[in-house]
Structure 1
Amino acid sequence: MPKLPNNIHPSHRVVSVARDGRTFVCGDLHGCYDELWQEMHQAGFDRARDHLIVLGDLTDRGIKNYECVKLLAEPWFHSVLGNHDEMMLNAVNPRSDKHFWRVNGGGWFDLLSEEQQEEVQYLCDRFVERLPLSMTLLLPDGSHIGLMHADAPTDWHAAVEGHQPRMETLWGRRRIKDKDQTSVANVDLVLVGHTSNNAILRLGNVIYLDTGAGFRNGRLTMVEIGQSLEELEANLQQRIELDRSCNFLPFTYEPIGDYETG
């Protein structure tokens, strides 16, 4: 059974999964606000008892980015930091250069009213600035589930202790490019987003949940964690089989949001 090191870095958060409610994890959100509510409705999500954790990238590419940022103020909504979240955080200051963010889908911010822009700035200062780079979920059966946005380290303790390079955590794709099946040490399972795939992908004990939300023909994937590793594995397999039966069209790398980029 994995054990946490004594030195837990401030960029990492450890959360015990409650028994009296359900915990769900969702791949990159990318402005897909309506799709998220549809997933929650289908799952019977109870905002008074249940919790949702997003694997980063709340905005860009999709249609309702402003609404997705506002979710950070909800007590049931949680997220790790993604590279698009960091781009937003760096760009929302009125004196900042927003070109790099626009190129990557941040043009929606220019279409907001001045009041809405100020609200996004406040939410960035109040919430995005404090998002963890990674999380460990402690399940009642003793299992440890790691959550982060991009590339998982070879040893989960690198994330917990803050030794993993920030660029790798937010932007990395080495594991998926190399098709590396080596399991991450000191953790049972790691759920990541960042790299879009047409279906849930597994490499070793790393699960990729980004299924192209925000792209044409893409979709959002949300999975219940459950109370044990066995239950999580069963929920993942059930989602994989359900998606396979739906015969989804392959997504294309074309954002669904109608706003300027570049």
Structure 2
Amino acid sequence: MTQVQRFTINTVGRDFAVGDIHGHFTKLQAALDAVGFNPATDRLFSVGDMVDRGPESTDVDVWLAKPWFFAVQGNHEQMAVDAHRLSHKGQASYIHMINGGAWLYGLSTVEQAFYVDLFAVLPIAIEVMTPIGLVGIVHADCPFDDWAQMLGVLEQEQGAMQRSVQTICQWSRARITSENDTGVSGIRAVLVGHTVVLQPTVLGNVYHIDTGGWRGGHFTLIDLATLECFPPVNPELCSR
């Protein structure tokens, strides 16, 4: 597993990020169509939680095979990996099941292993170079107020320390629940999902973009080069 995946600047097209998908890929495609997404030149980055809860979780392999689609590992992908490694026994599989993972356990053991192998190699963090500087992506939160400090732990530490930071990256709601607008230094912006918001919410330079497209809301796409949201929102609603 590569902890951090890095991308050079897109010189021929646009880069977008999207919030949690949760098995609603048809609805995601409609959002891409609405912004004129061009798969020949544009790229799409997912903040993770591509599966569970929605009806199209089994389509995740098709999307991960697209040369323009990239994702970090969300807590739902991590739950699937953990449950599989424990042979579906105990608390790990139960937690995944009650959080929308039943689709996986209805598949054959070979199919289950196929999907889990896809999830297991996803990075915890993504960096994308843009004309305005580096943009970072993690699923839930950055555990430090300095981006480089987080990368240092992910890439150089092992064991309990690394796992603790991974857990915060995938599960924490601390920044948004406390309305911490300190931001993260060393990076232009950090894009996260995990916590559903009515409109994209900006705290410092941390953009929360899971607007609940998977549960009746809408998918928000954010242009990494401009940090402009689609569909457009009232600027007063885009920050706290």
TM-score for the superposition, normalised by structure 2:
0.84
Give the deviation of 1:91 after TM superposition: 2.8
Counterpart for residue 128 of structure 1? 119
The structure-2 alpha-carbon separation of the partners of 1:120 and 1:78, relative to structure 1 and needing over 3 Å to count, comes to farther
Give the deviation of 1:90 after TM superposition: 2.4
Q: Which amino acid aligns with 2:219?
A: L
Distance in 2 between the 1:59 and 1:238 partners? 23
The structure-2 alpha-carbon separation of the partners of 1:86 and 1:41, relative to structure 1 and needing over 3 Å to count, comes to same
Give the deviation of 1:50 after TM superposition: 1.6
Distance in 1 between the 2:116 and 2:209 partners? 25
The structure-2 alpha-carbon separation of the partners of 1:121 and 1:213, relative to structure 1 and needing over 3 Å to count, comes to farther
Counterpart for residue 46 of structure 2? 54
Counterpart for residue 253 of structure 1? none
Map 1:31-46; keep pairs closer than 5 Å. 31-46=23-38
Partner-residue secondary structure (3-state), 1:74: coil
The CA deviation string for residues 51-76 of structure 1, in whole angstroms up to 9 with x for no partner, is 11100001111111111343112211
Partner-residue secondary structure (3-state), 1:104: helix
Unaligned 5+ segments in structure 2 are 155-161
The structure-2 alpha-carbon separation of the partners of 1:135 and 1:177, relative to structure 1 and needing over 3 Å to count, comes to same
The structure-2 alpha-carbon separation of the partners of 1:203 and 1:94, relative to structure 1 and needing over 3 Å to count, comes to closer
The structure-2 alpha-carbon separation of the partners of 1:48 and 1:186, relative to structure 1 and needing over 3 Å to count, comes to same
Tell me whether 1:63 sits opposite 2:55 in the alignment: yes
CA contact (8 A) 1:59 1:69 kept: no
Map 1:7-156; keep pairs closer than 5 Å. 10-92=2-84, 95-97=87-89, 98-112=93-107, 114=108, 118-125=110-117, 127-141=118-132, 143-152=133-142, 153-156=144-147
Give the deviation of 1:10 after TM superposition: 4.3
The structure-2 alpha-carbon separation of the partners of 1:237 and 1:99, relative to structure 1 and needing over 3 Å to count, comes to closer
TM-score for the superposition, normalised by structure 1:
0.78
RMSD after superposition: 2.3
CA contact (8 A) 1:57 1:82 kept: yes
Counterpart for residue 166 of structure 2? 166
The structure-2 alpha-carbon separation of the partners of 1:237 and 1:22, relative to structure 1 and needing over 3 Å to count, comes to closer
Unaligned 5+ segments in structure 1 are 1-8, 245-262
Moved over 6 A (4+): none
Q: Give the % identical residues.
A: 30
Distance in 1 between the 2:61 and 2:22 partners? 10
Counterpart of 1:241 (choices 217, 227, 234) is 234
Q: Which amino acid aligns with 2:72?
A: V
CA contact (8 A) 1:60 1:214 kept: no
Give the deviation of 1:204 after TM superposition: 0.9
Map 1:164-243; keep pairs closer than 5 Å. 165-215=165-215, 217-226=216-225, 231-232=226-227, 235-236=228-229, 239-241=232-234
